Amino acid sequence: MSEPAFDLVIRNARVATAADTFHADIGIKAGIIVQLGLDIAAGKSEIDAAGRTVTPGGVDGHCHLDQPMPPPAKMADNFDTGTRSAACGGTTTVIPFAAQAKGQSLQAAVDDYHRRADGRAHVDYAFHLIVSDPTPDVLARELPELIAKGHTSFKIYMTYDDLKLDDGEVLDVLDVARSHGALVMVHAENADCIDWLTKRLQAAGKTAPRFHGHARPMLVEREATHRAIALAELVDVPILIVHVSGREAVEQIRWARAHGLNIFAETCPQYLFLSAENLGTGDSYLGAKCVCSPPPRDKGNQAVIWNALTEGLFTVFSSDHAPFNYGGTDGKHPDGNEVTFPYIPNGIPGLETRMPLLYSEGVLKGRITVNKFVELTSTNAARAYGLHPRKGTVAIGADADLVIWDERDVEITNAILHHNTDYTPYEGITLGAWPGMTIAGGEVVWDGKQFHPRAGRGRFLQCGAPTLLPSK
Ligand code: URP
Ligand code: ZN
Ligand code: ZN
C-alpha cells in the first residue's frame, strides 16, 4: 500500500480567512498546508470539522513574556507557560518584546531574550524590540543590524521613567525605521502629566488602585497620541499606536487618517470588556488586578471602542498580556501588602482569552464578520510584522497553524486557563465559543480538553518588512 498523501487532513472545514469563507478539506504535510480542495486524498490522521469554522491560528503581536522587570516585580509567565496559554486560546504565533534597559546594548537584550526563549516555546515566536536608550551607536549600527536579522518592529514609550523617550529621541528612532523599512509601535501617554497628577493624588492620600485611572485620564493619551502622529508626520513614516483605550485617542487617529497620514492602531480586550469599575470602589484593593496602562475607561468608551472596531478603525487586536500574580511576593499585592497605585505593576493577563472573547462577542453577536475577526486577530499582525503569508492565513504554502472553533458555552474561570498567572480579569464571563482544537505547525497542541506540550516545538521567526496596506 502506498503512503497516505498527507500527514493530517482536516475534512469538511468551513474555512474563514481575512478575505473569504469557503468549504474545503485541508491537506497538511511537514507542518505546511499543501492542498485545499474537495474530497482530497487520505492523511495519516484525519479530523472531521463538519459544521465548524476553521480560522488561521492567532498572531498575538503584543504580549509580554518573561520580560525583565525592576524588582520586586516579576512576570508570572515565561515562554513555556505563556505559549501554552496562547496555544489553548487559539494563538499559534506570539511576538513579545526584547526590552533594552537604559545603558544596555540592544543586542545584549536580544541575546538575553533568546536565552529565555530557547527550547521553551510551544508555538512559534518572533521578537519585537523595545528601544529605551537610542544612543548614537544604537541608531547607527545596532538597530539597522537587528532589523536586517529579522527584528523589523520596535516599541517606544512616551511614559514610564525607565523606558520613556523624549520627542527628539522619538524622531531619531522613527527616522531609522523609515530608512530601514521597520514599523514603530508607540505607547502614547504623556509622562509629565501622569507624574504631576500622581504626586497630587499621593499628597491627598488618594492611593487606592482606582486612582491609577485618575492619574492617567484620557487627555494624557490624547495629547501623546496627537504628538506621536505629528512626529511621524514630520519624519514621514507610518506608526502603530498600541492599546488605544477610548474616544479621545480614537478621535486623534481619525483626524490623522482624514489628513492622509498612515497611522495604524491597535486595541485590546481590556478596552472592550473591562471598565473603570473594575479598578474598584473606595479603598478596595482588588482593583489592582485590572491596573494596566492606559487604564480601562468608562462604559461609554467601551462602546466607542466597539464602534471603532466594527467601523474598521483598528488594524490589530492584541492581548497586551502583561502577567503579574495578584498573590505571592512579586506581583500586584506583594506579600499581602496593599502598595500605593504607582507601585502596582502595570498589566493584565489575556493571551488565552483574546481570541474567544472576540469570536464570541464580536462574531457570534453579529458585530463583526468572521473575516474581520481573522484580519484583526491574525492576518494584519502577520502583515504588520512581516510574517505574512507564512502566518495569518489559510493558503497553500502557509504554515499549518489553525483553529477549529467549537460554538458552545464556556464560562471563563482562572481554573480552565493555562497561563501561570493566579487570576483572570474576565472571571465569570460566559462566552459562546472556544477553540475546539488548535493546530500549530501541523501538530495538535490543544484538543479542546487537553494541552499537548512539546517545549521547543515553537521556532524563532525572523520577520520581514511590514506588508500592511496604507491605513484608510
Ligand atoms: O499596562 C500595561 N499595558 N503593561 C504592559 C506594558 C505596556 O505598556 O504595554
Ligand atoms: Zn504599552
Ligand atoms: Zn504591552
With a 6 Å cutoff on the Cβ, whether 319 touches ligand 1 is no
Tell me how far the alpha carbon of residue 57 lies from the centroid of ligand 1, in angstroms.
24
440, 123 contact by CB (below 8 A): yes
Q: For the chain, how are helix, strand and coil distributed in percent, rounded to 5?
A: 35, 20, 45
Tell me how far the alpha carbon of residue 130 lies from the centroid of ligand 1, in angstroms.
12
Atom of ligand 1 nearest to the CA of 242: 9
Task: Give the integer Cα–Cα distance in Å for 6 and 28.
Answer: 6
209, 287 contact by CB (below 8 A): yes
Task: Give the integer Cα–Cα distance in Å for 123 and 439.
Answer: 10
| Complete DSSP assignment for 43-99 | EEEEEE-TT-EEEEPEEE-SB--S---STT---S--HHHHHHHHHHTTEEEE--EEE
Mutate to test the pocket of ligand 1, among 293, 319, 321 (most ligand atoms within 8 A of CB): 293
Task: Give the integer Cα–Cα distance in Å for 257 and 313.
Answer: 10
Q: Which ligand is nearest to the CA of 347?
A: 1
The H or E element containing residue 169 is: helix 167-180
- Locate cell 504565533: which residue? 93
Degrees, nearest 5: CA angle 52-57-60? 135
The residues, any chain, with a CB within 8 Å of residue 69's CB and separated by 6 or more, are 75, 345
Q: Which ligand is nearest to the CA of 128?
A: 3
Confidence at residue 2, expressed as pLDDT on a 0 to 100 scale: 82
With a 6 Å cutoff on the Cβ, whether 99 touches ligand 1 is no
Compute how many other C-beta atoms are within 10 angstroms of the C-beta atom of residue 353.
Answer: 25
Confidence at residue 236, expressed as pLDDT on a 0 to 100 scale: 98
Alpha-carbon dihedral 16, 97, 468, 268, rounded to 10 degrees: 60
Mutate to test the pocket of ligand 1, among 292, 319, 351 (most ligand atoms within 8 A of CB): 292
Which residue puts its alpha carbon closest to atom 4 of ligand 1? 347
Size of the chain in residues:
472
- Locate cell 494563538: which residue? 91
With a 6 Å cutoff on the Cβ, whether 346 touches ligand 1 is yes
Which residue puts its alpha carbon closest to atom 9 of ligand 1? 320
With a 6 Å cutoff on the Cβ, whether 245 touches ligand 1 is no
Task: Give the integer Cα–Cα distance in Å for 189 and 227.
Answer: 10
**What is the residue-level pLDDT of the chain in tens, covering all 472 positions?**
689 999 999 999 999 999 999 999 999 999 999 999 999 999 999 999 999 999 999 999 999 999 999 999 999 999 999 999 999 999 999 999 999 999 999 999 999 999 999 999 999 999 999 999 999 999 999 999 999 999 999 999 999 999 999 999 999 999 999 999 999 999 999 999 999 999 999 999 999 999 999 999 999 999 999 999 999 999 999 999 999 999 999 999 999 999 999 999 999 999 999 999 999 999 999 999 999 999 999 999 999 999 999 999 999 999 999 999 999 999 999 999 999 999 999 999 999 999 999 999 999 999 999 999 999 999 999 999 999 999 999 999 999 999 999 999 999 999 999 999 999 999 999 999 999 999 999 999 999 999 999 999 999 999 999 999 888 7
Strand partners, 316: 266
> What is residue 175's DSSP assignment?
H
Task: Give the integer Cα–Cα distance in Å for 412 and 376.
Answer: 22
With a 6 Å cutoff on the Cβ, whether 64 touches ligand 1 is yes
Q: For the chain, what is the radius of gyration of the CA atoms?
A: 21
With a 6 Å cutoff on the Cβ, whether 248 touches ligand 1 is no
Tell me how far the alpha carbon of residue 295 lies from the centroid of ligand 2, in angstroms.
11
Tell me how far the alpha carbon of residue 63 lies from the centroid of ligand 3, in angstroms.
6
57, 378 contact by CB (below 8 A): yes
With a 6 Å cutoff on the Cβ, whether 320 touches ligand 1 is yes
455, 417 contact by CB (below 8 A): no
With a 6 Å cutoff on the Cβ, whether 347 touches ligand 1 is yes
Confidence at residue 472, expressed as pLDDT on a 0 to 100 scale: 76
Confidence at residue 1, expressed as pLDDT on a 0 to 100 scale: 67
Rama region for 246: left / alpha / beta (φ>0; ψ in -120 to 50; rest): beta
87, 440 contact by CB (below 8 A): yes
- Pull the grid cell for residue 301: 468608551
218, 248 contact by CB (below 8 A): yes
The H or E element containing residue 250 is: helix 247-258
Task: Give the integer Cα–Cα distance in Å for 240 and 386.
Answer: 14
Determine phi and psi for 310, rounding to 5 degrees.
-70, -30
Confidence at residue 412, expressed as pLDDT on a 0 to 100 scale: 99
> What is residue 327's DSSP assignment?
S
Residue 212's nearest CA partner among 106, 291, 267, 124 is 291
Atom of ligand 1 nearest to the CA of 160: 8
388, 126 contact by CB (below 8 A): no
Tell me how far the alpha carbon of residue 280 lies from the centroid of ligand 2, in angstroms.
22
With a 6 Å cutoff on the Cβ, whether 244 touches ligand 1 is no
Q: Is the dihedral of CA 427, 346, 377, 151 positive or negative?
A: negative
Mutate to test the pocket of ligand 1, among 320, 341, 343 (most ligand atoms within 8 A of CB): 320
Atom of ligand 1 nearest to the CA of 292: 1
Task: Give the integer Cα–Cα distance in Å for 215 and 378.
Answer: 33
With a 6 Å cutoff on the Cβ, whether 53 touches ligand 1 is no
Confidence at residue 314, expressed as pLDDT on a 0 to 100 scale: 98
Task: Give the integer Cα–Cα distance in Å for 392 and 375.
Answer: 8
Tell me how far the alpha carbon of residue 320 lies from the centroid of ligand 1, in angstroms.
6
Atom of ligand 1 nearest to the CA of 64: 5
With a 6 Å cutoff on the Cβ, whether 383 touches ligand 1 is no
298, 275 contact by CB (below 8 A): yes
278, 425 contact by CB (below 8 A): yes
Alpha-carbon dihedral 202, 204, 205, 210, rounded to 10 degrees: -70
Confidence at residue 95, expressed as pLDDT on a 0 to 100 scale: 99
Tell me how far the alpha carbon of residue 242 lies from the centroid of ligand 1, in angstroms.
10
> What is residue 341's DSSP assignment?
G
Tell me how far the alpha carbon of residue 141 lies from the centroid of ligand 2, in angstroms.
25
Tell me how far the alpha carbon of residue 91 lies from the centroid of ligand 3, in angstroms.
17
Please state which of the four CATH numbers 3.40.50.1220, 3.20.20.140, 3.40.50.620, 3.40.50.720 is assigned to the domain occupying 58-381.
3.20.20.140
Which residue puts its alpha carbon closest to atom 2 of ligand 1? 347
Q: Which ligand is nearest to the CA of 294?
A: 1
